[in-house]
Structure 1
Amino acid sequence: SLCIDFEELMHKKFRMSSMEELTFFLGLQVMQKDDEIFISQDKYVADILKKFDFSSVKTESTPIETNKALLKDEKAKNVDVH
């Protein structure tokens, strides 16, 4: 299955073993099902919001065209964020 393949890959790459079902990995939340793996950062985001006292702020939607493809700006310089 996909979960077993992922576990084997992590064991080979990082020399790690699995004691039980993987739920957190490198700061990511992991939810495993028989045929899929769902990875999210919900806990990380919640911790950041709590740290800066943004847990109870009013949210607002940001309008965006959902059917429009993103395009690369060929004239722009590449950005090194690290």
Structure 2
Amino acid sequence: MAAPVLAQSATQAQAAWDRSCARCHRDAAAVVAALPGATSDDRRQWLDPFLATHRAPDPATRAILVDWLLAQRAE
């Protein structure tokens, strides 16, 4: 299960999603459900380098976004 996302981080992640992802990917939970990997760690290992070259080059923003995305699957 993904680490808890603090409210401020969740707000930052939602803003990053809205700014960089939502135009093409409207449903975060659907995106996460389609990620390869059997565990959250597997999905994190795939997602982080992918996002580095796909609209989230900043490591701090990417880390918050990855945590938030993985939490969408847990909800």
TM-score of the superposed pair, with normalisation by structure 1: 0.25
Instruction: Decide which structure has greater strand share.
Output: 1
Higher relative contact order (CA 8 A, sep 6+): 2
Which one has a larger percent helix, Structure 1 or Structure 2? 2
Q: Which has the larger radius of gyration?
A: 1
